[in-house]
A = this chain, B = another copy of it.
Amino acid sequence: MAALTENADNSTAPTDEIGTTTPEHDEPVTDDLSDDERALLVDGVRYVLDGRWRATRDTVRAGTDRADLLPDPSRTLDEARARILAEMRELADHDFAAAGFGADHGGTGDVGASITAIEMLGYADLSLMVKSGVQWGLFGGAVENLGTARHHQRYVPGIIDLDILGCFAMTETGHGSNVQALETTATYDRDTREFVINSPTPSSRKDYIGGAAQHARFAAVFAQLITGGPDEEPESQGVHCLVVPIRDADGNDLPGITTGDCGYKGGLPGVDNGRITFDNVRVPAENLLNRYADVEADGTYISPIENPNRRFFTMLGTLIRGRVSVAATAGAAGRKALTLATRYGLLRKQFDAPDGDDEITVLDYLGHQRKLLPLIAKSYAIACAQNELTAELHDVQTAAADRAQTDPADQERQRQLESAAAGLKAYATWHASAAVNTSREACGGAGYLDENQLSIIRDDIDVFTTFEGDNTVMTQLVAKELLGAYAEDLRGLSAGGWVRFIAGMARDVVAEKTAVRQVVQTLLDSSDEDTENSSLADRGTQIRLFRNREDHLVRTCAQRLRRAGEDDTDAFEIFNDAQDHLLKVGTAHTERVVLEAFVQAIADCDSRSAADLLAKVCDLFVYSALEADLSWFLMHRQVSVERAKAIRRGVNSLCQELRPHARTLVDAFGIPEALLAAPMLEHG
Contacts and interface: CB of A to CB of B under 8 A. Distances in A.
A572 B354 CA distance: 6
A447 B462 CA distance: 10
Interface stretch (A25-33, A519-527, A628-636): A628-636
Contacts of A534: none
A203 interface: yes
A494 B634 contact: no
B354 A496 contact: yes
A99 B631 CA distance: 48
Contact of A466 (B73, B447, B635): B447
A560 B6 contact: yes
B266 A579 contact: no
A495 B264 contact: no
Nearest to A366: B579
Contacts of A572: 353-354, 360
A352 B495 CA distance: 7
Given A181-B359, A366-B576, A351 B450 contact: no
Contacts of A627: 631
Nearest to A626: B631
A458 interface: yes
Nearest to A367: B579
Contacts of A634: 630-631, 634-635, 641, 644
Contact of A351 (B177, B365, B583): B177
A441 B462 CA distance: 8
Contact of A641 (B465, B577, B637): B637
A570 to B, nearest CB: 7
Interface string A373-411: 000000000000000000000000000000000000000
Given A350-B177, A494-B351, A496-B354, A580 B366 contact: yes
A466 B444 contact: yes
A600 interface: no
Contact of A265 (B455, B563, B652): B455
Interface in A469-521: 470-472, 476, 494-497
A354 B644 contact: no
B641 A560 contact: no
A652 B580 contact: yes
Interface stretch (A12-20, A167-175, A215-223, A298-306): A167-175
Contacts of A360: 495, 572
Q: Which of A171, A173, A560 has the most CB of B within 10 A?
A: A173
Nearest to A368: B472
Contacts of A652: 577, 580
A681 interface: no
Q: Which of A631, A637, A645, A652 has the most CB of B within 10 A?
A: A631
Interface in A444-464: 444-445, 447-451, 454-456, 458-459, 462-463
Interface in A412-445: 433, 437, 440-441, 444-445
A577 B4 contact: yes
A578 interface: yes
A174 B680 CA distance: 10
Contacts of A578: 4
A203 B350 CA distance: 12
Interface in A152-206: 171, 173-178, 181, 202-203
A570 B1 CA distance: 11
Interface in A562-600: 563, 570-574, 576-581, 583
A445 B351 contact: no
Contact of A262 (B449, B471, B573): B449
A351 B630 contact: no
Given A6-B556, A652-B580, A684-B174, A263 B354 contact: no
B266 A683 contact: no
Contacts of A631: 627, 630-631, 634, 644
Contacts of A470: 444
Nearest to A173: B683
Given A264-B73, A450-B263, A644-B631, A462 B458 contact: yes
Nearest to A679: B173
A444 to B, nearest CB: 5
Nearest to A637: B641
Nearest to A371: B472
A571 B576 CA distance: 52
Contacts of A178: 350-352, 359
A367 B583 contact: yes
A262 B680 CA distance: 12
A446 to B, nearest CB: 8
A409 B370 CA distance: 39
A4 B466 contact: no
Q: Which of A177, A207, A581, A634 has the most CB of B within 10 A?
A: A634
Given A433-B437, A556-B6, A580-B652, A570 B466 contact: no
Given A175-B350, A208-B448, 20 more contacts: A4-B560, A4-B574, A4-B578, A73-B264, A74-B77, A177-B351, A177-B444, A266-B455, A354-B494, A354-B496, A360-B495, A364-B576, A366-B576, A366-B577, A367-B476, A441-B466, A445-B466, A459-B459, A577-B652, A634-B634
Interface of A: 1, 4, 6, 73-74, 77, 171, 173-178, 181, 202-203, 207-208, 262-267, 350-356, 359-360, 364-367, 370, 433, 437, 440-441, 444-445, 447-451, 454-456, 458-459, 462-463, 465-467, 470-472, 476, 494-497, 556, 560, 563, 570-574, 576-581, 583, 627, 630-631, 634-635, 637, 641, 644-645, 648, 652, 683-684
16 contacts: A4-B574, A74-B263, A176-B350, A177-B350, A181-B352, A203-B684, A262-B451, A266-B455, A360-B572, A367-B472, A440-B462, A445-B463, A448-B463, A580-B648, A580-B652, A634-B635
